[in-house]
Amino acid sequence: MTGQARIVVWLLAVLCGLAAVGLGVIAAVADLDTAGQVASVAGSVAGLVGVALSCYTLLRPSAAGSHGTAATAAGARSVAAGGSIGRAVTGDRVTLTTPPAAPPATAGTSGSAQATGERGIAATGGIGEAITGDEARA
């Protein structure tokens, strides 16, 4: 989560806390009918804001495009990923007897990965295991 997103989340949490305290004060000072009406209006407004944020999230560009990660594979049986790859197998008649290796930990997945040529493998993150030969056993 980015620093700006953390600030927004904390501000929303504080705002919700203040709203709850405000409704409690209204219930204590006024009466329960007034507090119920105020809570009903506040809930309706919060629901509409939630719908608007959901629509915005669905319609905005993907997160992968906004972080500058790009992956392209241009060769026969090439593999490219905009993140990490546990296991990539491009060979024929490969026998797999072990579980996939975990990709090495990486600091981030920014940049681009381009796999060119036959059976090329590229990733913006780590690659745990790449099997490109025919009739290999792993």
pLDDT band at 44 (very low <50, low <70, confident <90, very high): very high
| Beta-bridge partners for 129 | 87
User: Does 94 score more than 60 pLDDT?
Assistant: yes
User: Does 114 score more than 60 pLDDT?
Assistant: yes
Predicted local confidence at residue 113, as pLDDT: 81
Characterize 58-70 residue by residue with b for buried, 16 or more Cβ atoms within 10 angstroms of its Cβ, and e for exposed.
eeeeeeeeeeebe
Task: Record the tokens describing residue 55, joined without a space.
Answer: 């629509």
pLDDT band at 124 (very low <50, low <70, confident <90, very high): confident
CA distance 15 to 21: 10
The residue ranges of every structural domain in the chain are: 3-60, 69-131
CA distance 10 to 45: 20
User: Does 122 score more than 80 pLDDT?
Assistant: yes
Across 120-138, average pLDDT: 80
120 with 73: CB under 8 angstroms?
yes
Provide the H-helix boundaries in the chain.
3-29, 32-59, 63-66
CB atoms within 10 A of CB 98: 9
The number of helices, as runs of H, and strands, as runs of E, in the chain is: 3, 6
